[in-house]
Amino acid sequence: MLFKKQKEIIGHAGAIYTCAYKDGFIYTGSGDNYVARWNAETGEQDKFAIKFEESVYSLVFLDENRLVVGLANGHVHVFDLNSNEEIKFFTQHTKAVFELSFNEKKQQLYIADADGNLSIWDSRTLELLVYLPLDCGKVRDISVSQTGENFVLACQDDTLRVFESNFFNEILTIDAHKNGATTVLYHPNNENHLISGGKDAMLRLWDLRTSKCLEEIPAHNFAIYSIQAINDGKTIITSSRDKTIKVWSDGLKFQERLDLKVGGHKHSVNKIRPVNTNQFVSVSDDKKIIIWEEA
């Protein structure tokens, strides 16, 4: 076995849709309208908890202290964790915010919603830079290139849309997945390659220079919801509505299936995030948080 369950955490009263990791703590957002924080080493919940008016769909850190939270009603809240105060409240979006992403190199915050609208903010001043109504359906994922020069959206209209981060022009559109693209990741070891997953349950590898599909893998039984890399980019992890997590080499060769038989999830696995070089965390509709580590 390549990975084993290191810890299982239960505490939310609703499905868990998103998670983030920072400085030894796992932050989770749930259908119970709470953001909660858990000690990754002990699994214990600390006193930090924030209740909202709607389900929490997305989380991202802008730096060590600022946490951004996206809700089902389109509201976006920014918190300073040092002072435990809300420092910004965005109402630019009116539909569910499924994805938040931070471009550290450009100091830009990306917010995408269920209607295919994208807003881009200066992460230092929290001022709006541009608002783009893309008319591409629900945007479920955003990946930023390692250089920060480009970012890509996974869209409900089947496409992957690549933008440059200086003037925010769309520079490439790839017709990627029937019934919708749901997740995307710049390949950790090759910035000219994208790894994508969709409602068609397919995992695909794309060459950005030619827009050609290099690999096409029937990876899951239902929609793929999250793709992440750990182990310095040598290991790719995918999670799915089919209740499973799968482990791949960086060349997308199948290595392992993590399911209920090995202590995995009972329902849709909505998000995975790296914890460190050899650990990652997964969250699910089954209300569980599971930390996995290399065996």
Instruction: Please determine, for residue 150, whether its predicted confidence score (pLDDT) is greater than 80.
Output: yes
pLDDT at 238: 98
Structure tokens at 183: 């997740």
Instruction: Return mean pLDDT, the chain.
Output: 97
Place of tokens 């998000």: 271
| pLDDT of 77 above 90 | yes
Q: What is the pLDDT of residue 65?
A: 94
φ, ψ for residue 31, nearest 5 deg: -70, -10
CB-based contact 220:201 (threshold 8 Å): yes
- Find all residues with CB under 8 Å of 17, minimum gap 6, and list them: 29, 30, 31, 55, 56, 57, 58, 270, 271, 283
Rounded to whole angstroms, the Cα distance separating 171 from 102 reads 20
pLDDT digits (tens, 9 = 90+) for 202-243: 999 999 999 999 999 999 999 999 999 999 999 999 999 999
pLDDT of residue 250: 95
Residue 1, pLDDT score: 75
Question: At a CB cut-off of 8 Å and minimum separation 6, what does 183 contact?
Answer: 140, 141, 154, 196, 197, 198, 224, 225, 226, 227, 238
Distance CA 45, CA 66 (A): 19
Rounded to whole angstroms, how far apart are CA atoms 79 and 88? 7
Question: What pLDDT was estimated at residue 147?
Answer: 97
| Encoded amino acid at 233, one letter | G
- Mean pLDDT of the 55-83 span: 97
Note the CATH number of domain 3-294: 2.130.10.10
Phi/psi at 232 (5° precision):
55, 35
* Mean pLDDT to the nearest integer, 192-210: 98
Q: Looking at the predicted structure, is the pLDDT value of residue 56 above 90?
A: yes
The per-type count for the chain, helices as H runs and strands as E runs, is: 0, 28
Nearest Cα to 196, choosing from 221, 230, 170, 219? 219
Q: How large is the average pLDDT for residues 149-176?
A: 98
Nearest CA among 275, 193, 209, 191 for reference residue 237: 275
pLDDT at res. 181: 98
β-strand partners of 97: 113
- Domain ranges within the chain, ordered by starting residue: 3-294
Q: What is the pLDDT of residue 282?
A: 98
Mean pLDDT of 166-183: 98
- Which amino acid is it at 73? N
Q: Is 126's pLDDT higher than 90? A: yes
pLDDT at 90 over 80: yes
